[in-house]
């Protein structure tokens, strides 16, 4: 550094003198500042130079500071907006959950209303239950309900919905029970086809399907035909909807029977609420009394026909008293048939009692040669 100053000493001194003169002149020389003062005040040149030098830097610092402040405020505002957005999103999620809960309550209310109307219209005594679990493999269809023996549930009670039958109660516990669904491989129900009035047995098929395999092929069984319970299985009351026919074709494994596929009326895969029928015995008793009345009507009709056809009665038959049964009429035996050779059994003696050239000792009508020849 010393060698630099010693080497350029003269030049540095000259520059310092020139700079001092320029600063002295700038402090003495004035320039007019128009537009700012009306009295014509003049601004010194040094001050103008300083203003020209500092103003751009101040402008840059001002704009950069404003930009930094804007970025900071935007960042702070963005954090607040983000938090506010999170709060709003949480409120939206809560409202959606409430909406879903209200919609589910509304759907459940509609289902319960339908079940109540169905119960009042068709079945006298039922117990409502909810499905709380399902289980079983490919061939087993079992569901668990929240009602048990403490609520009056017993095995083999019918389980239904407003759409149709579902199954029957299998195992009963204190606070729950298991129901065997209709499409189980070991399940069955007596059904009646509405169009043909044909009775059949509905069973669970492979893959959870419903089939009828004990009927002969019938062209009258068409897809879409409705099925109802027949009441013959002593489980389901008569007249409940079962489903519709999907197809009917010959069963290659059980010839000559037909394989009839059935679509269940109830959605067995999406059960939520069910009804357990508790008055099956009363229902069947009413059906039995109706059948007895039909039998009595048939007997009365037979008696009317017998009265109108006197030829079926014997002339000497005395009138029946109340509680007595009519005697069995004895039909006359038909006469023995006459063979083509006009031989009647018992009219001609057997060949063992005849003697060649002798007279016949057996009693019997003589046989003329002409008649004997006719038999040849």
pLDDT tens-place string over residues 182-228: 998 888 899 999 888 889 999 988 888 999 988 988 888 899 999 99
Cα(first)–Cα(last) distance of the chain, in Å?
173
Work out the average pLDDT over 325-347. Answer: 53
Model confidence pLDDT, tens digit, residues 268-299: 988 888 999 887 544 444 544 555 555 565 55
Q: What is the pLDDT of residue 175?
A: 92
What DSSP string describes 187-246? Answer: -EEEEEETTT--EEEEEE-GGG-EEEEEE---TT--TT-EEEE-STTSSSPTT-EEEEEE
Please report which confidence band the pLDDT of residue 355 belongs to, taking 50, 70 and 90 as the band edges. low
Average pLDDT of the chain to the nearest whole number: 73
User: Measuring CA to CA, which residue among 161, 167, 140 is closest to residue 235?
Assistant: 167
Q: Which of 108-117, 152-161, 313-322 has the lowest mean pLDDT?
A: 313-322
Spatial separation of the C-alpha atoms in residues 167 and 38, rounded to whole Å = 108
Q: Which residues of 247-258 are buried (b: 16+ CB within 10 A; e: fewer)?
A: ebeebeeeeeeb
Whether domain 129-284 has CATH 2.40.110.10: the reply is no
Give the E-state strand segments of 224-364 in sequence order: 226-229, 241-250, 258-264, 273-277
More confidently predicted of 74 and 292 = 74
Distance CA 15, CA 90 (A): 74
Q: Is the pLDDT of residue 63 over 50?
A: yes
**pLDDT for residue 212:** 92
pLDDT of residue 305: 47
Report the C-alpha gap between 317 and 297 in whole angstroms. Answer: 25
pLDDT value of position 61: 73
Band the pLDDT of 229: cuts 50, 70, 90: very high
Q: Where are the domains of the chain?
A: 129-284
* Confidence at 375, pLDDT banded by 50, 70, 90: very low
Supply the pTM of this predicted model.
Answer: 0.48
Percent of the chain whose pLDDT exceeds 90: 21
The shares of helix, strand and coil residues in the chain, as percent rounded to the nearest 5, are: 40, 20, 40
Q: Are 367 and 359 in contact (CB under 8 A)?
A: no
Helices 9-28 and 45-121: crossing angle in degrees, nearest 10, is: 80
Predicted pLDDT at 282:
47
Pairing relationship of beta strands 42-44 and 30-32 according to DSSP bridges: antiparallel
Strand partners, 126: 277
Count other C-beta atoms under 10 Å from residue 171's C-beta.
Answer: 13
User: Looking at residues 42-65, what average pLDDT do you find?
Assistant: 68
């Amino acid at each position: 550094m010393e060698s630099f100053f010693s080497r350029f000493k003269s030049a540095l001194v000259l520059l310092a003198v020139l700079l001092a003169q320029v600063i002295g002149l700038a402090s003495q020389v004035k320039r007019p500042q128009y537009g700012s003062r009306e009295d014509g005040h003049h601004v010194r040149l040094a001050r103008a130079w300083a203003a020209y030098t500092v103003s751009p830097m101040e402008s840059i610092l001002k704009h950069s500071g404003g930009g930094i402040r804007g970025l900071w405020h935007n960042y702070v505002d963005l954090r607040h907006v983000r938090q506010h957005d999170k709060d709003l999103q949480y409120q939206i999620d809560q409202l959606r959950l409430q909406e879903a809960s209200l919609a589910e309550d509304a759907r459940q209310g509609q289902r319960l209303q339908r079940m109540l109307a169905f119960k009042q219209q068709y079945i006298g005594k039922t117990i409502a239950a909810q499905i709380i679990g399902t289980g079983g493999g490919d061939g087993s269809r079992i569901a668990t309900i929240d009602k048990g023996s403490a609520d009056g549930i017993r095995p083999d009670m019918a389980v239904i919905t407003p759409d149709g039958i579902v199954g029957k109660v299998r195992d009963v516990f204190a606070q729950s029970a298991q129901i065997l669904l209709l499409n189980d491989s070991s399940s069955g129900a007596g059904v009646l086809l509405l169009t043909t009035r044909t009775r059949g047995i509905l069973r669970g098929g492979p893959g959870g399907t419903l089939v009828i395999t004990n009927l002969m092929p019938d062209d009258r069984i068409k897809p879409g035909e409705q099925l109802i319970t027949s009441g013959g299985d002593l489980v389901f009351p008569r007249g409940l909807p079962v489903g519709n026919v999907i197809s009917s074709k010959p069963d290659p494994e059980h010839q000559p029977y037909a394989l009839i596929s059935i679509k269940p009326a109830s959605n067995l895969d999406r059960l939520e609420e069910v009804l357990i029928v508790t008055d099956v015995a009363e229902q069947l008793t009413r059906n039995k009394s109706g059948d007895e009345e039909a039998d009595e009507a048939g007997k009365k009709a037979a008696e009317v026909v017998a009265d109108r056809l006197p030829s079926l009665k014997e002339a000497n038959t005395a009138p029946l008293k109340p509680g007595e049964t009519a005697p069995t009429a004895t039909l006359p035996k038909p006469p023995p048939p006459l063979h083509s050779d006009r031989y009647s059994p018992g009219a001609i003696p057997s060949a063992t009692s005849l003697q060649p050239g002798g007279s016949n000792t057996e009693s019997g009508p003589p046989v003329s040669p002409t008649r004997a020849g006719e038999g040849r």
